[in-house]
Structure 1
Amino acid sequence: MNSTHTQRADVLVIGGGIGGLGAALALTRQGLRVRLYEQAPAFGEVGAGLQLAPNCTRILHEYGVLDEAVELGVLPEHMIMKDALDASELTRVDLKDMERRYGFPYLVIHRSDLHGVLLRGCERAGVELVTGTRCTAYENIAGGARVTFEDDRTDEAEIVLAADGLHSVARTLLVDDEPVNSAYVAYRGALPIEQVRTNDVHEKDVVLYVGPRCHFVQYPLRGGRMFNQVAVFRSPKALAGEEDWGTPDELDHAFEGTCEPVQKGLPLMWRDRWWRMFDREPLMKWVTGRIALLGDSAHPPLQYMAQGAVMAVEDGWVLAQHVAAQRAERSAGGSGVDWGKALAAYEAVRPEHCRRVVLTARSWGDLWHHVGVQREQRNAVMRSRDTYDYSFMDWVYGPTALTPDQEPEMYPSIPLDSVRI
């Protein structure tokens, strides 16, 4: 092994984002030696707000970091959908009632704050954290897997988890595909709450304005001291195949004719950067030998279900649960991990659930962005929804499946046909 490390790790995690840190923490809690590599010179996250549903906060609670996350974030009271043209309310979710139903809260938090919570959790747990190291190749070897870095150093372990994002190097071992361009782009802006109070914003709610080929999201952050905004729209330049797409002039044009609350929020967006929205076609095989995909390397979604970071955290938790269960089965015969069985169990559960989230996110994006008569029909359907109807949420926010046998009961088919107009 060509490495500066004297002790071989049980697990290598490639990628120090939310998914990689979550997996490293989960597996270290199972008594494994984990080494995590991050290509950036220091750990950190860009972006603004994240929404964490109960299927994620339940895991943070198990890791012992939920209280810290709640202290850094906000527990909103409602999630409200409004029409972006006339600001009329279409439907809402009582998030306190949701917490009673699922046992854990709905939390909004700055992405960098969640990243910091998980990073500190890894440091306390004893994860070995290595920065400034970019992985360029993965390969299976006898009894494990090896990674190679751009400086030609290598490292080996019993398994390698590739949490290397949308443009994953490891994914090429399993499929020859490219990210799918949605032609939508997101602008963000997080700013002190004092700068938006005159706009008569909701300081205790998550508010979504859905409009023709665009939407606008607002919610508080950092104990209510900050306010997060996200503006998403379809880019005509992207549809025309132009390279320079998603520019500020397109942002302004996309939201022409929207309601006063949206118009007041738009000038406060960051205009020096924007995020083009890509996903990938669902991949049902995540494991090759002792190399496994995790997070966006396996299932990058569009953002409409707010499940991208959540799914990545779930991945690591589910794998660790299967490691624990498999170890318990082998307790009489030894303490090692049968990684073949653990990875097979992980792959048996996660791809189908994540496939459904990725495809449902696309469908929800279409629904939000309807125009004309379809918009009116969508609004009528949304207004008819009971505030306490959780039929669209149970399959996502309920307990994460651990075995294939639990999949049908825990993830019933989402009734999208009733809202496709």
Structure 2
Amino acid sequence: MSNDRLIVIGGGIGGTATALAARRAGREVTLLEQAPAFTEVGAGLQMAPNATRVLRRLGVLDRVLEAGVRPGHLVFHNAVDGRELTRVRLDRAYEEHFGGPYVVVHRSDLLDILVDAAVGAGAELVTGRRVEEIDQHPDSVTVRTGDGTAYTGGAVVAADGLHSRTRALFSDDEPVQSGYVAYRGTVPIEDVAGGANLRDVLVWMGPGLHLVQYPLRSGSLYNQVGVFRSPRFDDGAERWGGPDELEQVFAATCEPVRRALPGLGRERWWPMADREPIASWAKDRVALLGDAAHPMLQYLAQGACQAIEDAAALAASATRHSGPDGTVAWPSALEEYAAERAPRTARVQSTARVWGEMWHVDGVAALLRDEVFSRRATDDLGAAEWLWGHRAG
């Protein structure tokens, strides 16, 4: 294999976006995924303009829009009394302002699109390969997988998720449990009150809980995510977040929220965790990307968006650090990539925590939150400029 090749560990959205972006920039790429096939767990993703602008540059936005839904509004409610507090119009003016649309898409649909595009661009995508070792050399790096295969290249980017083993090269930290747990489910759109008219992203905020709803797959499915803080977690129990707690915590919510609960799957739930930001996630010829570098709570809907930004920034940095013959000075390219991305992703991580706390307050704090939301002008996008207006790469 070429000593200049980029080796990507992990075949999720961040890894496949990186493979595609690197190929579009002229790099040779091998992606290694430990699972036997490319799959995504979960259902919906919200793609804000900071990500959709990148998807357009990568040549896949039209396919994403076809597979997903362009919602009309992002609408916030009080989950207890049902009042609408504010809404963001996701219309043509919004798209022109930020240079890209807001789209909601099924995770597996987005992954399929990225995989197809990366393969079509000439990236080598290999499944069933669990990385066991990474050995750096003066002019190359070698990755060895569990079956004994060795892959040699110029750099390794690990997009291996929240529980990244590669992160141990940079930090001895562990995931931080928030005490919140998520239940997810999709139902046919015709089974939901309102049916074909359900085109908005709805957020219902309440004490220690929230519900998010929006359509998927060209409007044929309705995605719902219920999240709550587990009383058992607060009591120090070893097992927490079960379905009985879901029913208990959501009992005091308004009728539209309670009506959504039967559509949430009970067989599996997801404890919500992130990690503290770290100062750097590049060392010589190895770097982290996506949740391996900056796992974040879901309240800004930016996990996948930030991974896509990472992919664009990495490809651009490799181009800036390539010589006349196209060979990349990978150590300096990775160092620049991480230096550019770390401050921004740290801000998104910390803001996501604050945003989640604001969603889940009770009492006087909830009254103040609702007042602030209600006073917002619907065309006021100033608070989101730093997030949605950022241009990576």
TM bucket (normalised to shorter chain) is over 0.9
**Which residue does the alignment assign to 1:193?**
189
**Which residue does the alignment assign to 2:327?**
336
Question: Unaligned 5+ residue runs, structure 2?
Answer: none
Whether the 8 Å CA contact 1:137–1:170 is kept in 2: the answer is no
- For 1:367-418, what per-residue CA distance to the aligned partner results, in whole angstroms no more than 9, with x for missing partners? 000001110111001101111111221101113255xxxxxxxxxxxxxxxx
Shift of 1:184: 0.2
1:366 corresponds, among 340, 351, 357, to: 357
**Which residue does the alignment assign to 2:337?**
346
Separation (CA, whole Å) in 2 of partners of 1:235 and 1:290: 41
**Which residue does the alignment assign to 2:272?**
277
- Give the aligned residue type for 1:342: A
**Which residue does the alignment assign to 2:29?**
34
**Which residue does the alignment assign to 1:303?**
298
- Structure with more contact order per residue of length (Cα contacts < 8 Å, sep ≥ 6): 2
In the TM superposition, what are the counterparts of 1:256-267 in structure 2 within 5 Å?
A: 256-267=251-262
- Give the aligned residue type for 1:326: H
Question: Unaligned 5+ residue runs, structure 1?
Answer: 1-5, 403-421
Shift of 1:195: 1.3
Whether the 8 Å CA contact 2:196–2:219 is kept in 1: the answer is no
In the TM superposition, what are the counterparts of 1:393-404 in structure 2 within 5 Å?
A: 393-402=384-393
- Give the aligned residue type for 1:399: H
In the TM superposition, what are the counterparts of 1:8-407 in structure 2 within 5 Å?
A: 10-96=5-91, 97-197=93-193, 203-327=198-322, 330-331=323-324, 334-402=325-393
- Give the aligned residue type for 2:377: D
Q: Secondary structure at the match of 1:197?
A: coil
Percent of residue pairs identical: 49
TM-score (structure 2 length as normaliser): 0.97
Shift of 1:7: 5.9
Whether the 8 Å CA contact 1:9–1:35 is kept in 2: the answer is no
Shift of 1:9: 6.3
Q: Secondary structure at the match of 2:162?
A: coil
- Give the aligned residue type for 2:314: L
Shift of 1:8: 5.8
TM-score (structure 1 length as normaliser): 0.90
- Give the aligned residue type for 1:321: A
Shift of 1:106: 0.1
Separation (CA, whole Å) in 1 of partners of 2:196 and 2:361: 25
- For 1:197-254, what per-residue CA distance to the aligned partner results, in whole angstroms no more than 9, with x for missing partners? 36x7961100000000000011011111100000000011122222221100011111
Whether the 8 Å CA contact 1:76–1:95 is kept in 2: the answer is yes
Count of residues in correspondence between the two structures: 392
Whether the 8 Å CA contact 2:282–2:288 is kept in 1: the answer is yes
Shift of 1:68: 0.4
- Give the aligned residue type for 1:130: V
Separation (CA, whole Å) in 2 of partners of 1:196 and 1:319: 42
Whether the 8 Å CA contact 2:290–2:310 is kept in 1: the answer is yes
Whether the 8 Å CA contact 2:2–2:153 is kept in 1: the answer is no
Separation (CA, whole Å) in 1 of partners of 2:158 and 2:281: 10
Q: Which runs of 4+ in 1 moved over 4 A?
A: 6-9
Shift of 1:98: 1.8
